[in-house]
Chains A and B, each alone.
Chain A
Protein backbone atom coordinates (compact mmCIF):
# COMPACT_ATOMS: atom_id res chain seq x y z
CA UNK A 1 0.00 0.00 0.00
CA UNK A 2 0.89 3.66 -0.07
CA UNK A 3 3.53 4.80 2.39
CA UNK A 4 5.83 7.67 3.29
CA UNK A 5 9.39 7.40 4.59
CA UNK A 6 10.88 10.40 6.31
CA UNK A 7 14.37 11.27 7.40
CA UNK A 8 14.83 10.26 11.00
CA UNK A 9 15.42 12.94 13.56
CA UNK A 10 15.98 14.72 15.66
CA UNK A 11 17.66 17.43 13.63
CA UNK A 12 19.47 20.24 15.43
CA UNK A 13 20.65 23.30 13.53
CA UNK A 14 21.98 26.72 14.32
CA UNK A 15 19.96 29.76 13.35
CA UNK A 16 20.40 30.74 9.67
CA UNK A 17 21.56 27.25 8.68
CA UNK A 18 20.20 25.47 5.60
CA UNK A 19 17.55 22.82 6.23
CA UNK A 20 16.75 19.69 4.29
CA UNK A 21 14.35 17.03 5.54
CA UNK A 22 14.14 14.07 3.18
CA UNK A 23 10.86 12.42 2.27
CA UNK A 24 10.24 9.59 -0.18
CA UNK A 25 6.99 7.89 -0.97
CA UNK A 26 5.48 4.73 -2.41
CA UNK A 27 2.16 4.98 -4.21
CA UNK A 28 0.27 3.05 -6.84
CA UNK A 29 -1.15 6.11 -8.55
CA UNK A 30 -0.55 9.84 -8.59
CA UNK A 31 -0.87 11.16 -5.07
CA UNK A 32 -0.95 14.68 -3.75
CA UNK A 33 1.97 15.37 -1.40
CA UNK A 34 1.99 17.49 1.73
CA UNK A 35 4.19 18.80 4.49
CA UNK A 36 2.49 19.42 7.83
CA UNK A 37 4.10 21.11 10.83
CA UNK A 38 3.29 20.69 14.51
CA UNK A 39 4.54 23.44 16.80
CA UNK A 40 4.86 22.64 20.51
CA UNK A 41 1.44 22.39 22.14
CA UNK A 42 -0.44 22.97 18.88
CA UNK A 43 -2.29 20.91 16.29
CA UNK A 44 -1.01 19.89 12.88
CA UNK A 45 -0.94 22.70 10.32
CA UNK A 46 -0.54 22.38 6.59
CA UNK A 47 2.79 23.94 5.60
CA UNK A 48 2.73 23.33 1.85
CA UNK A 49 1.47 20.94 -0.77
CA UNK A 50 1.94 19.82 -4.37
CA UNK A 51 -0.64 17.99 -6.43
CA UNK A 52 1.29 16.83 -9.50
CA UNK A 53 4.77 16.03 -10.71
CA UNK A 54 7.21 18.96 -10.89
CA UNK A 55 4.93 21.20 -8.83
CA UNK A 56 6.74 23.21 -6.17
CA UNK A 57 4.94 23.97 -2.94
CA UNK A 58 6.19 26.92 -0.90
CA UNK A 59 5.24 28.76 2.26
CA UNK A 60 7.04 30.77 4.97
CA UNK A 61 10.38 30.30 3.20
CA UNK A 62 9.97 26.51 3.01
CA UNK A 63 9.91 24.75 -0.36
CA UNK A 64 9.39 21.21 -1.63
CA UNK A 65 9.28 19.92 -5.21
CA UNK A 66 7.24 16.89 -6.27
CA UNK A 67 9.76 14.61 -8.01
CA UNK A 68 8.03 11.66 -9.64
CA UNK A 69 11.23 10.18 -11.04
CA UNK A 70 12.76 9.86 -7.58
CA UNK A 71 9.42 9.57 -5.71
CA UNK A 72 10.56 12.32 -3.38
CA UNK A 73 9.25 15.50 -1.78
CA UNK A 74 12.16 16.87 0.24
CA UNK A 75 11.54 19.92 2.44
CA UNK A 76 14.09 22.77 2.28
CA UNK A 77 14.58 26.16 3.82
CA UNK A 78 17.52 28.41 3.14
CA UNK A 79 17.84 30.02 6.57
CA UNK A 80 16.06 28.56 9.58
CA UNK A 81 14.94 30.54 12.60
CA UNK A 82 14.43 29.53 16.22
CA UNK A 83 10.69 29.82 15.60
CA UNK A 84 10.90 26.99 13.03
CA UNK A 85 11.53 24.50 15.84
CA UNK A 86 8.73 21.95 15.48
CA UNK A 87 7.92 18.46 14.25
CA UNK A 88 7.54 18.17 10.47
CA UNK A 89 5.42 15.46 8.83
CA UNK A 90 5.47 14.44 5.20
CA UNK A 91 2.18 12.98 3.94
CA UNK A 92 0.47 11.75 0.81
CA UNK A 93 -3.08 11.22 -0.32
CA UNK A 94 -4.19 9.43 -3.45
CA UNK A 95 -7.87 10.17 -3.06
CA UNK A 96 -7.88 12.91 -0.44
CA UNK A 97 -9.77 10.65 1.92
CA UNK A 98 -7.08 8.53 3.47
CA UNK A 99 -3.96 10.59 4.23
CA UNK A 100 -0.74 8.64 4.96
CA UNK A 101 1.85 10.32 7.17
CA UNK A 102 5.53 9.74 7.78
CA UNK A 103 6.82 9.29 11.31
CA UNK A 104 7.77 12.94 11.68
CA UNK A 105 11.10 14.74 12.05
CA UNK A 106 11.74 16.92 15.08
CA UNK A 107 13.70 20.07 14.26
CA UNK A 108 15.38 22.16 16.93
CA UNK A 109 16.97 25.45 15.92
CA UNK A 110 19.42 26.98 18.39
CA UNK A 111 20.21 30.70 18.54
Chain B
Protein backbone atom coordinates (compact mmCIF):
# COMPACT_ATOMS: atom_id res chain seq x y z
CA UNK B 1 0.00 0.00 0.00
CA UNK B 2 1.54 3.32 -1.02
CA UNK B 3 -0.95 5.62 0.69
CA UNK B 4 -0.33 8.01 3.55
CA UNK B 5 0.34 6.18 6.80
CA UNK B 6 0.14 7.44 10.36
CA UNK B 7 1.36 5.95 13.61
CA UNK B 8 0.14 5.26 16.14
CA UNK B 9 -3.52 4.95 15.19
CA UNK B 10 -4.60 5.51 18.78
CA UNK B 11 -2.86 7.15 21.72
CA UNK B 12 -4.13 7.52 25.26
CA UNK B 13 -2.08 9.74 27.53
CA UNK B 14 -2.39 11.52 30.83
CA UNK B 15 -2.65 15.26 31.07
CA UNK B 16 0.76 16.87 31.18
CA UNK B 17 2.56 14.16 29.23
CA UNK B 18 4.26 14.69 25.85
CA UNK B 19 3.15 12.76 22.77
CA UNK B 20 4.61 12.41 19.30
CA UNK B 21 2.85 11.25 16.14
CA UNK B 22 4.43 10.20 12.88
CA UNK B 23 3.22 10.61 9.30
CA UNK B 24 4.69 8.92 6.25
CA UNK B 25 3.45 10.60 3.07
CA UNK B 26 3.18 9.13 -0.39
CA UNK B 27 6.80 8.81 -1.47
CA UNK B 28 6.96 11.30 -4.33
CA UNK B 29 4.82 13.96 -2.62
CA UNK B 30 6.74 17.07 -1.61
CA UNK B 31 3.93 18.69 0.40
CA UNK B 32 2.77 17.43 3.76
CA UNK B 33 -0.09 18.84 5.83
CA UNK B 34 -1.31 18.37 9.40
CA UNK B 35 -4.95 18.85 10.43
CA UNK B 36 -6.89 18.37 13.64
CA UNK B 37 -10.44 17.05 13.71
CA UNK B 38 -12.66 17.13 16.78
CA UNK B 39 -15.86 15.14 17.14
CA UNK B 40 -18.62 16.36 14.86
CA UNK B 41 -16.42 18.89 13.10
CA UNK B 42 -14.45 19.03 9.90
CA UNK B 43 -10.66 18.97 9.85
CA UNK B 44 -8.89 22.20 10.84
CA UNK B 45 -5.58 23.12 9.23
CA UNK B 46 -2.57 23.17 11.54
CA UNK B 47 0.54 23.45 9.39
CA UNK B 48 2.16 22.36 6.15
CA UNK B 49 5.61 21.60 4.75
CA UNK B 50 7.08 21.85 1.32
CA UNK B 51 9.96 19.40 1.39
CA UNK B 52 11.64 20.08 4.76
CA UNK B 53 10.51 23.70 5.06
CA UNK B 54 7.56 24.51 7.30
CA UNK B 55 5.83 27.24 5.31
CA UNK B 56 2.64 28.02 7.21
CA UNK B 57 1.31 27.57 10.71
CA UNK B 58 -2.24 28.09 11.90
CA UNK B 59 -2.98 30.14 15.01
CA UNK B 60 -4.37 26.85 16.37
CA UNK B 61 -0.79 25.62 16.65
CA UNK B 62 0.11 26.84 20.13
CA UNK B 63 3.64 26.90 21.55
CA UNK B 64 3.08 23.41 22.90
CA UNK B 65 2.84 22.01 19.38
CA UNK B 66 5.82 21.48 17.12
CA UNK B 67 6.12 19.75 13.78
CA UNK B 68 9.17 18.67 11.86
CA UNK B 69 9.99 17.11 8.54
CA UNK B 70 13.75 16.78 8.80
CA UNK B 71 14.61 15.17 5.49
CA UNK B 72 11.58 16.12 3.51
CA UNK B 73 10.07 12.66 3.86
CA UNK B 74 8.22 11.63 7.03
CA UNK B 75 6.98 14.19 9.54
CA UNK B 76 6.42 14.23 13.28
CA UNK B 77 3.94 16.26 15.30
CA UNK B 78 4.76 16.65 18.99
CA UNK B 79 2.43 17.98 21.65
CA UNK B 80 4.06 18.95 24.93
CA UNK B 81 2.25 19.10 28.27
CA UNK B 82 -0.95 17.71 26.80
CA UNK B 83 -4.31 19.12 27.91
CA UNK B 84 -7.74 17.53 27.74
CA UNK B 85 -8.64 19.96 24.98
CA UNK B 86 -5.98 18.37 22.80
CA UNK B 87 -8.12 15.22 22.51
CA UNK B 88 -8.89 14.92 18.80
CA UNK B 89 -8.08 13.05 15.62
CA UNK B 90 -4.83 14.30 14.08
CA UNK B 91 -4.80 13.91 10.32
CA UNK B 92 -1.90 14.02 7.92
CA UNK B 93 -2.19 14.59 4.19
CA UNK B 94 0.27 14.86 1.34
CA UNK B 95 0.21 16.23 -2.20
CA UNK B 96 2.43 16.37 -5.24
CA UNK B 97 2.68 20.14 -5.05
CA UNK B 98 0.52 23.21 -4.91
CA UNK B 99 -2.92 23.09 -6.48
CA UNK B 100 -3.09 19.29 -6.48
CA UNK B 101 -5.23 16.83 -4.57
CA UNK B 102 -4.40 16.20 -0.93
CA UNK B 103 -4.36 12.52 0.05
CA UNK B 104 -5.25 11.86 3.66
CA UNK B 105 -3.99 9.24 6.09
CA UNK B 106 -6.25 7.35 8.51
CA UNK B 107 -5.40 9.66 11.40
CA UNK B 108 -4.12 9.28 14.96
CA UNK B 109 -6.80 9.49 17.63
CA UNK B 110 -5.47 11.15 20.78
CA UNK B 111 -7.28 10.85 24.09
CA UNK B 112 -5.97 12.89 27.00
CA UNK B 113 -7.26 11.70 30.38
Contact = CB atoms under 8 A, between A and B. Distances in A.
A43 B105 contact: yes
| Chain A interface mostly | strand
B62 interface: no
Contacts, number: 54
B98 A100 contact: no
A44 B44 CA distance: 13
Contacts of A43: 3-4, 91, 104-107
| Chain B interface mostly | loop
Interface string A12-45: 0000000000000000000010001000001111
A49 B101 contact: yes
B45 interface: yes
B71 interface: no
A97 interface: yes
B58 A98 contact: yes
Given A43-B106, A44-B104, A96 B98 contact: yes
B40 interface: yes
A98 B104 CA distance: 14
B21 interface: no
B31 to A, nearest CB: 8
Interface string A69-111: 0000000000000000000010100011111111110000000
Given A6-B42, A100-B45, 6 more contacts: A32-B99, A44-B93, A96-B99, A98-B58, A99-B45, A101-B43
